[in-house]
């Protein structure tokens, strides 16, 4: 039996299968099976009232899950799917409460990774999948990240992990709410407000402090266990000197080259543009987290619109970092 056939069989039996998407790895369950969906919450340690995204094989599945679908939903689907955009729509009555957290809405997305699409097409249904990490932690961008964090096979909640290599985008999808009068971005992603605005003919609202309930919008999220600081370029070097003076190991993520050579400095260069930065950010945070640095410092990116999603994740990672 091939990997995809085995994964489909496991999903049909109500087991969890982790799979790659272009954004991050997802922890998948049959979205129409509440007992299977319950296993996701157990595996992640995630509160039950946090809704899950349902992944679909194609836009033609949209009306099985959503009702009263506005034209703009089809316009966005046509422009971005398969791709890193999740649409929040009114749900069909048959969508399990376990998926929606009891809300009248459902999040839907067609992912772009070839293995994800192959799996969804073979499964011929919706696969509920949050990011395949423990609740609040950094999302996984490789199969090994998932294995390290949740395990695989006997004794673990995860029956199987499909390995599709490193994720291309690297941070979670943009979430856009289409259920109200106004179109609103609930979680920024690499599909930007400008990208959506071009398709919609007007800019969507962007997140404010009191955005609706999206677990990724809790102040602390996407976080490493090591204390994390975001510092302006000219301050990074002071943090390094301070760590040296205290004889501590420090992890640095910055576009510039390391100006000093010392074995206590774990310096990782990252791209100076958003796509490359997003691609590597989570893997680098995980790597440095695993090296038991006293502190991780990320050089603060620019505050412009094209960096919005990255700055959003970095701020939440700082807020949640250092929790053991």
Residues that bind Mg ion (CB under 5 A): 131
* 183 interface partner picked from Mg ion, ligand TXA, none, CB below 5 to 8 A per type: none
CA distance 29 to 239: 44
Q: Is 207 in the site for ligand TXA (CB under 6 A)?
A: no
Q: Is residue 231 classed as helix, strand or coil in its secondary structure?
A: strand
Vertex 121: Cα angle to 15 and 108 (nearest 5): 75
Residue span binding ligand TXA (CB under 6 A) among the ranges 152-160, 170-178, 295-303, 312-320: 170-178
Residue nearest to Mg ion (CB): 131
Instruction: CB nearer to ligand TXA: give 103 or 306.
Output: 103
Does position 299 interact with ligand TXA (CB under 6 A)? The reply is no
From the list 17, 24, 31, 196, which residue makes contact with ligand TXA (rule: CB under 6 A)? 24
Q: Of residues 51, 82, 126, 224, which one binds ligand TXA by CB under 6 A?
A: 51
How far is it, in rounded angstroms, from Cα 172 to Cα 164? 16
> Per residue, what are the HEC states of 72-99?
HHHHHHHHHCCCCEEEEEEECCCCCHHH
Query: Is position 309 an interface residue for ligand TXA (rule: CB under 6 A)?
Result: no
Compute the radius of gyration of the chain from its Cα atoms.
20
Complex with ligand TXA: residue 208 or 261, whichever CB lies closer? 208
Q: Give 21's Cβ-side CA count (13 Å radius).
A: 35
How far is the C-alpha of 320 from the C-alpha of 135, rounded, in Å? 11
Alpha-carbon distance of 17 to 120, in angstroms, equals 12
DSSP annotation string for 104-147: SEEEEE----HHHHHHHHHHTS-EE--BSSSTTBPPP-SHHHHH
Structure tokens at 180: 């109200």
Across 222-269, where does the E strand assignment appear?
228-231, 250-254, 265-269
Is residue 115 near ligand TXA by the rule CB under 6 A? no
Which residue among 56, 88, 191, 278 contacts ligand TXA (CB under 6 A)?
88
My answer on whether omega of the bond before 82 falls inside 30° of 0, hence cis, is: yes
Minimum CB–partner distance for residue 230 and ligand TXA (Å): 22
Nearer to Mg ion, 27 or 252 (CB): 27
Distance CA 292, CA 301 (A): 24
Q: Which residues contact 208 (CB under 8 A, 6 or more apart)?
A: none
| Tokens matching residue 205 | 């609202």
Q: Least Å distance between CB 109 and ligand TXA? A: 6
Of 105-113, 245-253, 284-292, 306-314: span binding ligand TXA (CB under 6 A): 105-113
* Count of residues in contact with ligand TXA, rule CB under 6 A: 28
| Site pattern 185..204 for ligand TXA (x: CB under 6 A) | -x------------------
Q: Does 183 sit near ligand TXA (CB under 6 A)?
A: no
Nearer to ligand TXA, 64 or 300 (CB): 64
Candidates 43, 66, 95, 106; binder of ligand TXA (CB under 6 A) is 106
Q: Which of 131, 168, 192, 299 binds ligand TXA (CB under 6 A)?
A: 131
Cβ at position 194, least distance to Mg ion in Å: 24
Q: Indicate which of ligand TXA, Mg ion, none lies near residue 105 (CB less than 5 to 8 Å, by partner kind).
A: ligand TXA
Instruction: For the chain, give the number of residues.
Output: 324
Question: Which option in ligand TXA, Mg ion, none does residue 107 bind, with CB closer than 5 to 8 A by kind?
Answer: ligand TXA
Contact call for residue 50 and ligand TXA (CB under 6 A): yes
């Amino acid at each position: 039996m091939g990997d995809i056939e085995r994964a489909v069989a496991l999903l049909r039996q109500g087991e969890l299968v982790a799979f790659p998407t272009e954004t991050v790895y997802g922890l998948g369950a049959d979205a129409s099976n509440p007992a299977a969906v319950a296993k996701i919450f157990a595996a992640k340690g995630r509160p039950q009232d946090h809704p899950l995204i349902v992944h679909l094989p194609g836009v033609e599945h949209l009306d099985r899950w959503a009702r009263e679908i506005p034209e703009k939903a089809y316009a966005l689907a046509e422009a971005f799917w398969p791709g890193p955009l999740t649409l929040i729509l009114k749900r069909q009555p048959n969508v399990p409460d376990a998926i929606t957290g009891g809300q009248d809405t459902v999040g839907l997305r067609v992912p772009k990774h070839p293995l994800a699409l192959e799996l969804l097409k073979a499964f011929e249904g919706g696969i509920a999948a949050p990011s395949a990490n423990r609740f609040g932690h950094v999302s996984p961008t490789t199969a090994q990240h998932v294995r390290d964090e949740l395990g695989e096979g006997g004794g673990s909640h995860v029956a199987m992990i499909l390995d599709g290599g490193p994720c291309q985008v690297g941070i979670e999808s943009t979430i856009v709410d289409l259920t109200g009068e106004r179109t609103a971005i609930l979680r920024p992603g690499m599909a930007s407000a400008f990208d959506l605005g071009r398709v919609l003919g007007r800019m969507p609202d962007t997140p404010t402090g009191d955005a609706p309930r999206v677990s990724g919008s809790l102040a602390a999220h996407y976080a490493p266990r090591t204390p994390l600081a975001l510092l302006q370029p000219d301050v990074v070097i002071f943090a390094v000197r301070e760590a040296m003076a205290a004889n501590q190991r420090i992890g640095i993520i910055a576009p510039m080259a390391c100006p000093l050579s010392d074995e206590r400095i774990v310096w990782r260069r990252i791209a100076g543009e958003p796509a490359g930065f997003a691609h590597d950010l989570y893997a680098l945070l995980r790597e440095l987290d695993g090296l038991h640095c006293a502190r991780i410092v990320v050089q603060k990116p620019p505050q412009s619109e094209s960096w919005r999603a990255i700055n959003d994740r970095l701020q939440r990672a700082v807020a949640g970092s250092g929790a053991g």
